[in-house]
Homo-oligomer: A and B are copies of this chain.
Amino acid sequence: MTDFAATKALFHLPEGMIYLDGNSLGPLPKTTAARVAQCVTDEWGEKLITGWNKAGWMAQPTALGDRVGRLIGAEPGHVVLGDTLSIKVYQALAAAVDLMPDRRVILTDSGNFPSDIYMAEGLIKSLDRGFELRVVAPEDVAANLTDEVAVLMLTQVDYRTGRLHDMAALTAAAHGVGAVIVWDLAHTAGALPVDVAGCQADFAVGCTYKYLNAGPGAPAFIYVAPRHVAGCQPALSGWLGHEAPFAFDLDYRPGPAIERMRVGTPPVLQMAALDAAMVIWDQVNMQALRAASIALSERFIKGVEATCPMLTLASPRDPAQRGSQVSFHFENGYAAMQACIARDVVGDFRAPDIMRFGITPLFIDAADIDRAVAVIAEVMDGRLWDTPAYMQKAAVT
């Protein structure tokens, strides 16, 4: 599907709102409520325990894995859904360091999402084997790839600036020093086309509540390259990752392939919401989406820069180096974003001074961009952000 006027009609958006925060929590597809209601009333209510087989609950994590996998260029059968992104980061990283018994450095960058770094800290502490988490600036990653590095762990798109790492180049560079790579695709999946198989990424993880529109608390995903999966001994070895969960053996034997990255009971209601969202995504051409995202982003940057001299572009100017968001620096960014939100242009703020706007062609069009620019210009030009209420509120999301 390349007709994004058609996809826009598939989403519920509050009347009058321009929602430029689909990179934080995607909006509600119109069919989701009915799909979730069906899951609750017909599947759970009527099928009860038999839903695990008769409603396909048990197979959902891998069935949905293939559908999400298409968006990131994964081979079928190598993505599974479940848990949260932080848990999936932990699983990928634990498996990755296990592949590299003689090295002790986990390299990442300061643009990584903090939870990824926290999970790495926790893993390192548990392992207690002298691992070092080395955090460098995003632009210094390649230069810090040495033969000490066991794992390069990166989030492809910086959650503040939208700066985009070159997946193929950095994967090749990591492999060049004998390291393995873990990609966090939180701001990539559904934002731009990538090809984890083509660039031979080792592990990838991501979430589905942002661009994929699967709702608050939607499950995360994990990809393991086919060449690694048989050798991965899961650190979080739960029963649904067992070769035969219902044999109830007392010894863990990992499942045949990506199934071993399952842990516990999947969140069936959240999976139903993801299913509804994927009905839309199944039809989306990612190249067309990327073209639309760039066109809208360029239009937005041009508009804001023409009207808001107080705002400084924080995102890369080159669209090839940018994900699907546009960010600006402004010292009173929190207050300014509150003023925009009060006028139904919804983006969000990231400390210390980032005003962040998600560009999501499935439901945002050129007219929305133009109206957003006009509202932002009005807020900035009129100093409408400069009120006690906006200035004093603490940022909480």
Give me the interface of A with B, judged by CB distance under 8 Å. Answer: 12, 14, 19, 21, 24-25, 27-28, 32-33, 36-37, 40-41, 43-46, 48-53, 57-58, 83-87, 90, 94, 110, 113-115, 117-119, 121-123, 125-129, 135, 207, 209, 215-220, 233-240, 242, 246-252, 263-271, 273, 346, 348, 350-351, 395-397
Contact = CB atoms under 8 A, between A and B. Distances in A.
A14 B46 contact: yes
26 contacts: A12-B41, A12-B45, A14-B45, A21-B48, A21-B49, A25-B48, A33-B37, A40-B215, A40-B273, A44-B216, A53-B396, A53-B397, A84-B238, A85-B264, A87-B264, A114-B248, A114-B249, A117-B250, A118-B242, A122-B235, A126-B235, A216-B265, A217-B269, A217-B271, A267-B267, A269-B270
5 A-B pairs closest in CB distance: A84-B264, A115-B239, A122-B237, A86-B238, A216-B268
Contacts of A127: 126-128
Contacts of A32: 40
A217 B265 contact: yes
Contacts of A249: 114
Interface of A is mostly: mixed
A382 to B, nearest CB: 24
A110 B269 contact: no
Given A12-B45, A25-B44, A115-B239, 7 more contacts: A14-B46, A28-B41, A87-B236, A87-B264, A121-B252, A122-B252, A267-B269
B220 A264 contact: yes
Nearest to A267: B217
A236 B122 contact: yes
A273 to B, nearest CB: 6
A269 B40 CA distance: 11
A94 to B, nearest CB: 7
A217 B126 contact: no
B239 A86 contact: yes
Contacts of A209: 265
A46 B301 CA distance: 28
A119 B237 contact: yes
B396 A119 contact: no
Contacts of A41: 12, 28, 33
Contacts of A397: 49-50, 52-53, 58, 246
A217 B266 contact: yes
